[in-house]
Amino acid sequence: MASKKRENTPSKELLEKLFTTAYRIRNFETEGIKLYRRGLVRGYFHPYLGQEGIATGACAALDERDYIASTHRGHGHCIAQGAEVEGMIAELLQKETGYCKGYGGSMHIADITKNNLGANGIVGASTPLGVGAAMANQVNGSDAVTVAFSTDGATNNGTFLESLNLAAIWDLNFILIVENNQYAVSTTLAEATRETELYKRGEAIGVESHRIDGNDSLLVYETVADAVKKCRAGLGPILIEAVTFRHSGHHVNDPGKYMPEDKLKYYKDRDPVDRARDNLINMGKMSAKDVKAIEAKIEAEFEAAVKAAEAAGEVSIEEFREFVEGY
Amino acid sequence: MAGREIMYREALREALFEEMGRDESIFIIGEGIAERGGSYKVTEGLLAEYGPTRIRDTPISEAGMIGVGVGAAIAGARPIVEILYVDFAMLGMDMIVNQAAKFRLMTGGRGRVPFVLRTQGGTGGGVAAQHSQSLEALFYHIPGLRVVMPSTPADAKGLLKYALRQEDPVMFIEHKHLYMTKGEVPEGELITEFGVADIKREGTDVTLIAWSNMIPRTLQAAEELAEMGISAEVLDPRTLVPLDRVAILKSVAKTNRCVIVQEAVRRGGVASDISSIIQEEAFYSLDAPVQIVAGMNTPIPFNLTLEEASVPQKNDIIAAVQSVLHHKAA
């Protein structure tokens, strides 16, 4: 895996942003699971725990013109792309104030005003949809870049090849981030494919491809920032395989007993949130006390969001009927 | 404004030319649609006029292409994806059914998918089981999609132009037998809203409901019925979703008898659903049970005699009309 010497020391501002986002996701998932256990969140809940470094680093390298497409494990992408926790929690609590009016839920969560094409319940769908957004931007004369977050599991779906190939022949401003968490539900990558270095699939069709440590949000940021620069210069698309590991099973009701303990320990020792915090303290020279203050602020923001969501209005069946009139 | 007769395919091409000139966010992707102009020449000349950014050939990647169209529609373009045969749209069903049809609802109405999938279906003289299907019922079944099936050049033009000005995903299903048919298309702007049926022939004794290539066949049947002294009204819904229930019920209330003609296989078809709407909402205006003339429940065989036997013919329509006219209440 690529790990390069840094030319410049990253700014404190960037390191703070990375830690803040990573911690906001971590807190959202940890506290969200508690709400789920209390029966307040229904349906499915696929935690992003352990993978926070990827969405955090990638979205920090984008600006407001750029787009993302997300996966079924989409809370982290949604937060990293700038969504407010309040609209997300309201969505999980099925409230009309949710980002999707309570019609979408965890698997379809999106603040589309932030150019997020949404979480998606179909594994692999983010790639063609993301290529489509890149195509729209090319046709409309924008230099916006689209990042599609995808997964190792999705690389064995036909649309992976079909749509990445379309992005390549049309030189689209498209970055495909394959979050390789090494499992498709419980099936290991080695069971699913003979060649487990997934970036090679991009190379096979002429797409510049990289393999990096996905638990290093700073490295993800730097790699994506470089890819964005190349895309805007007409050198896209680019594939980035970001290797990571879940901290738990596929969803909240999957204990993940098939995940070997030593491997889990290896990745927990390289926890993306801890590393972002260490970076902020060591490289960014922020005091432990100030870091704590950031954490406390994020925790309070979550609690306030839950209160607001609980107080928010319920959906209306009449309005729903009107909404689907003519369907 | 009379006088101008053009072919169905020319009418479609006119719609594309005009709309692409009006709206720069419209682009078309498909197999062999650029330099070659498409299998039915619908996109001929568009590349020269609008350039390679907006008119692109694709590799054979239906799921990818349809997905790209859906994603582009979400992100602010107006894509048209041309799929050579509706049979091939099956390769992209996830993108049509799980993505395009659901995005508006999944985002609570904040997102829209102004995506048009142009394709063609139906039997066509021995092109066999994988190039002959009438699959509209699959799309009709999925809430969130618009299903458009023009039968005349004028409808083809007006409906395609409307498709490019509304906000929902459209399955625009042409018919391979209709491309060379001619019809009157007025000069100038022609926009045909969805959900408005057209009475292709007025009559008083029986309502014949048909769409796409069953319209010319049903009109021929109506012509022969007229010679027998039977006055048949021919109603073309033009769009199956949204469906003009009001026009259907109004016509049935006038004629008190109804035959529905569909090229698609009988089982689980749109005709069955229209029939159920009529019996629910116009039962007491009916003097006879609604009859359906539909394709056999079979894949289309290659042999031309068998192919013909698999889908409704003029005489099947005439026989069904005679049966509803001679029905005596028990």
Q: Which two tokens stand for residue B241?
A: 């979703």
CB pairs under 8 A between A and B: 147
Average pLDDT score over residue span B100-125: 97
Residues of B acting as catalytic residues: 131
Superfamily of domain B5-184: Thiamin diphosphate (ThDP)-binding fold, Pyr/PP domains (3.40.50.970)
CB B234 within 8 A of CB B215: yes
Q: Where are the domains of chain B?
A: 5-184, 198-325
Query: In this complex, is the C-beta atom of B144 within 8 Å of any C-beta atom belonging to chain A?
Result: yes
3-state secondary structure A229-273: HHHHCCCCCEEEEEECCCCCCCCCCCCCCCCCHHHHHHHHCCCHH
pLDDT tens-place string over residues A145-159: 999 999 999 999 999
B229 touches chain A (CB under 8 A): no
Read off the pLDDT of residues B131-182 as tens digits, 9 standing for 90 and up.
Answer: 999 999 999 999 999 999 999 999 999 999 999 999 999 999 999 999 999 9
Is residue B6 packed enough to be buried (19+ CB in 10 Å), middle (13-18) or exposed (0-12)? middle
Same fold, B5-184 and B198-325: yes
Q: With an 8 Å Cβ cutoff, are A166 and B76 in contact?
A: no
What mean pLDDT do residues B310-321 have? Answer: 98
Q: Output the pLDDT for position A9.
A: 87
Q: Which two tokens stand for residue B264?
A: 């698609």
CA distance B116 to A167: 20
Please report the DSSP string for B69-130 in residue order: HHHHHHTT-EEEEEESSGGGGGGGHIIIIIIITTHHHHTTTS-----EEEEEES--SS--TT
Percentage of the residues of chain B whose pLDDT score is greater than 70: 98
- State pLDDT tens for residues A273-306: 999 999 999 999 999 999 999 999 999 999 999 9
Whole-number average pLDDT of chain B = 97
**Gap between the Cα atoms of A50 and B47, Å rounded:** 49
Pick B77's closest partner by Cβ from A130, A136, A169: A136
The sign of the torsion formed by the CA atoms of B81, B83, B86, B88 equals negative
State residue A5's pLDDT score. 67
Name the band, by pLDDT with cuts 50, 70 and 90, for residue B124.
Answer: confident
Whether residues B195 and A136 touch (CB distance < 8 A) is answered with no
In Å, how far from its chain's centre is CA B83? 14
Q: Are A91 and A100 in contact (CB under 8 A)?
A: yes
**Does the domain formed by B198-325 have CATH 3.40.50.2300?**
no
* DSSP one-letter code for A2: B
Ordered alpha helix ranges (H), B102-235: 103-106, 136-140, 153-163, 214-227
**In CATH, what class is A12-246+257-323?**
alpha beta
User: Strand B170-175 relative to strand B55-57: parallel, antiparallel, unpaired?
Assistant: unpaired
Name the DSSP letter for residue B301.
P
In a mutational test of the B interface, the residue from A159, A169, A174 whose CB has the highest number of chain B CBs within 10 Å is: A159
The answer on pLDDT for B2 being more than 70 is no
Can you tell me which residue has the tokens 């990638």? A58
CA distance A76 to A74: 5
pLDDT at B36 over 60: yes
Q: Which residue reads 């390789």 in tokens? A: A180
